[in-house]
Amino acid sequence: MGYKETYERWLNSDVLSDADKEELRSIAGDEKEIEERFYRELEFGTAGMRGILGIGTNRMNIYNVRRATQGVAKYVKSMGEDAAKAGVLIGYDTRHFSREFAEETAKVLAYAGVKAYLFERVHSVPEVSFGIRELKCAAGVMITASHNPKQYNGYKVYGADGGQLPPDAADVVVEAIDSFDIFDDVKFMDLEEAKASGIVEMAGPNLDDKFLDAVQTQQLNPEAVAAVADTFKLIYTPFHGTGSRPVKAILSRIGFKNVLVVKEQDTEDGDFPTVKSPNPEDKEGFEIAINMAKENDVDIIIGTDPDCDRVGIVVRDAEGVYRTLTGNQTGALLVEYILSSRKAKGTLPENGVVIKTIVTTELASAIAKAYGVEIMNVLTGFKYIGEKMTEFAKTGEHTYLFGFEESYGYLAGTHARDKDGVVATMLIAEMAAYYKTKNKSLYEALQDIYKKYGYYAEKTVSFTMPGKDGMEKMAALLTGLREDPPKKAAGMDIVVYTDYQSQTIKSADGITALKGLPKSNVLKYNLSDDKTYFIVRPSGTEPKIKIYLGTFGDSFEAASAEIEKVLADVKEQLGL
């Protein structure tokens, strides 16, 4: 069935509400818009679904949510009656339609005979990940689009371990989804009836307190917070998201007395009215906080994205300039702080491991090596870090210490299996207090790391390619890179070419097999100076091509300049 026929089917369906049909009528005659909405079904991958809100097969709406949930219900029931009784925990963030999507999820699960636990109010990603294991659920669903713009929402599915579904489990869910017609086969129960019967149960404060208890166990130097609590000030902003309640609670629990909150951004508002995009990677979103910091003599600003799984920080340098740190820089600071604190207290295990993604800074490797701790690389996506955590919990082969990715996601502790902005905020604040007792700012601590381990520099650049045309352009670009790979960049030869899709490593020594990682649409190029690389991959959650670059040098400025030269050449070669 073509997109025009699918559009007509939706328009004439008895299942659609009058308001939804009116939305479709409003685009009648707009051929491009109809095609964009109906040329494909919204893809369900290992990260679930994410897309622009609206009516259509390629949009986030209650119909796609219901169908996806029907697939999740079939997946859970395939594991047996006990799994259906164990149920599914459902969380949601502050985005438009998040609560509605969460309730629709509960209604479909209930009709299918799968127990559903539905949070009474908005909750963060780490709270959902924690709650799945605490309640011993068979699975979980989180309604969120993370840091995407306000036009988006999404549907993430978790396994019983609290981690995002691994590829093999996601394939089972996709197969189940594909077996259902979006209108004819999807059934749901009235929500109030489901609550009355007990198959839908509301989850509440008891889980919240247990989550905060678990987070607090990750404190490393409580004495440092106590030493500066009366005078140390920090600013926090939740960017209109779910972080407000748990972050403020944990900072209060561990003794911070002067937490200034950006009130304009401490509202549950899916329009995210004070920012262009609720992304803690963007300094623009911190503008109000920076002005507050200048007025209140504050050294550090911390911000979490709408579902509180990512954290961005702004620190004051010696000249009083407020600088945003990258995810790589914040991650490196945390690796050094965690490992050095554990070593000082005698709690650094012999089999400790730090896990990062393949696109994340190699500075973490240098730090871990200095402390005799193994560093492990996984594919991009925190689900792969979660998989390793679950594996080590079973085998005891390693003791998980910390995991992070360059896209501002961090996790200390094993209470969750996804990025946790609550524990990361707690540790960043404690770390800042600790260095304050040493008369240092976090910016100065970062410079000390560079002096000790080398001046590592990284950069990530994204190129947005929206719509059907963009998807085709991204596919063509990756195909071109495989058929005719670049030979040089910034005057240097490309000496190692790694294709994570074909699982091959090409070099002057020939072609060898890439082992230990699943297939992924990623290409990596190592240059002849033996320290510079760049990586090309399509985003798994947004219509973007991403280029990651890294190197190290005698100074941060020299390393950064080298990256800019390589980037300029790569962009020209790729026509970006």
Check: CB of residue 474 under 8 Å from CB of residue 538: yes
Burial degree of 233 (CB within 10 A; 0-12, 13-18, 19+): middle
Measured over the CA atoms of residue 234, residue 237, residue 243 and residue 246, the dihedral's sign is: positive
> What HEC string does 279-320 produce?
CCCCHHHHHHHHHHHHHHCCCEEEEECCCCCCEEEEEECCCC
| CA dist., res. 556 & res. 533, Å (int) | 16
Longest dimension (CA), the chain: 70
Cβ burial, residue 98 (10 Å; 0-12/13-18/19+): buried
Residue 337 to residue 331: CA distance in whole angstroms: 10
- Distance, in Å, from the CA atom of 533 to the CA atom of 535, rounded to the nearest integer, reads 7
Written as one letter, the residue type at 7 is: Y
**CA separation (Å) from 268 to 158, 178, 307?**
24, 35, 11
- Alpha carbons within 13 angstroms on the beta-carbon side of residue 429 total 37
**Residue 174 token pair:** 């996709």
DSSP code of residue 263? G
Helix axes 62-77, 167-178, angle to 10 degrees: 110
Catalytic: which of 98, 124, 146, 341?
146
- Residue with token string 């902003």: 237
Cα Rg, the chain, nearest whole Å: 24
Determine whether 146 is an active site residue.
yes
Which of these, 412, 177, 443, lies nearest to 329 by C-alpha position?
443
Active site residues per annotation: 146
